[in-house]
Amino acid sequence: MIQFEIVTKMYPLGVAALDGVSFVIDRNEFTFLVGTSGAGKTTILNLILGDLYPNVGTVIVNDIDISSKKNDQIEELRKHIGVVFQDFKILHDKDVFENIALGLYIQKLSLKKIKEQVREVLTLVGLQDRERYFPVQLSAGELQRVAIARALCGDRHIILADEPTGNLDPKTTWDIMKIFKKVETHKTIIIATHNTDIVNSMKKRVLVLKKGKLIKDVQKGGYEL
């Protein structure tokens, strides 16, 4: 469960990225964060990830208070969070298998288990025949699928995606969303996006942000600002 309680996040020079935001996202819930640029979507994702801490209020993720400055707690929390970035963040000196296995090595799994899990998730994202390909040999859509596979791998039950389809064409965008649909029953998924079509079509919970304030929280909502 993810819980924001009257969270305010100020950036230097007094810019309020979030202003008294409160919401609760349950386990295995699928949520869209929408809003214009600078509305606070990425700040919410960074707070959940423990990359930022709130100036006011509390953020609790998996029973861990993010405001706590204990590094080991944040490290432990991050082992259960998968992140998908708009620019993929794929390591170019590693092949598809190595990129996906990164998080599994951190969890200190045996090589046998790592191979099993990577192959399982590669099948899920439809890249089972690309295991030993290097990033330069893949298209943008395939790279994003590798990034999603990396986020899904291991015991990561919270998936944060920041504009995951921002750099992709409409067809690839839908392929990516289908992957999220496949895992939605056993993962908490939070996607920050500008993509109106996706939000409107998928009929999931939508949190609408404007200038750092949560202005709407709609179950099975659409894209409206």
Partner 1 sequence: MKQLLTALRRTPYQTLAVFSSLFLTLFLSLFLIFFLNFLYGLLGYIESRPQVTIYFQNEVSEESILKVKGELEQTGKVESVKYISKNDAYALYKNLNKDNPLLLEMVSPDILPASLEIFAKKPAYLPEIATYLNTVTGKDEVNFQKNVVDKLLSLTSVIRAMSLGFFVFLMSTTIIILTTITHFKIALKKDEIELLRLMGASAGYVRKPFMDQALFLGFITSTVVYMLFGGIFFFLYPSIRGYLSGVQSLFVDLGPYKLTVWPISIEYAGGLYILLTGFGMCIAGLATYFATHKYLIIQRG
Footprint on residues 61-80 left by partner 1 (CB under 8 A): 69, 71-72, 74-80
| Residue from 1, 24, 91, 111 binding partner 1 (CB under 8 A) | 91
**Quick one: CA torsion of 86, 128, 115, 75, rounded to 10 degrees?**
10
Q: Which is nearer to partner 1, 69 or 220 (CB)?
A: 69
Cβ atoms of 78 and 160 closer than 8 Å: no
- Measured CA to CA, the distance from residue 114 to residue 100 in angstroms comes to 9
**Amino acid identity, position 205:** R
| Residue from 93, 136, 171, 220 binding partner 1 (CB under 8 A) | 93
Tokens standing for residue 168: 């992709």
Cβ 9 to partner 1 shortest distance, Å: 9
Residue 185 touches partner 1, criterion: CB under 8 A: no
Residue 115 touches partner 1, criterion: CB under 8 A: no
Cβ 1 to partner 1 shortest distance, Å: 19
Helical residues (DSSP H) of 83-195, grouped into ranges: 96-106, 111-124, 140-152, 170-183
Residue 53 touches partner 1, criterion: CB under 8 A: yes
Q: Which is nearer to partner 1, 39 or 77 (CB)?
A: 77
- Measured CA to CA, the distance from residue 172 to residue 145 in angstroms comes to 10
| Residue from 1, 102, 111, 215 binding partner 1 (CB under 8 A) | 102
Stretch near partner 1 under the rule CB under 8 A, chosen from 49-57, 132-140, 163-171, 196-204: 49-57
Please give the DSSP secondary-structure letter assigned to residue 45: H
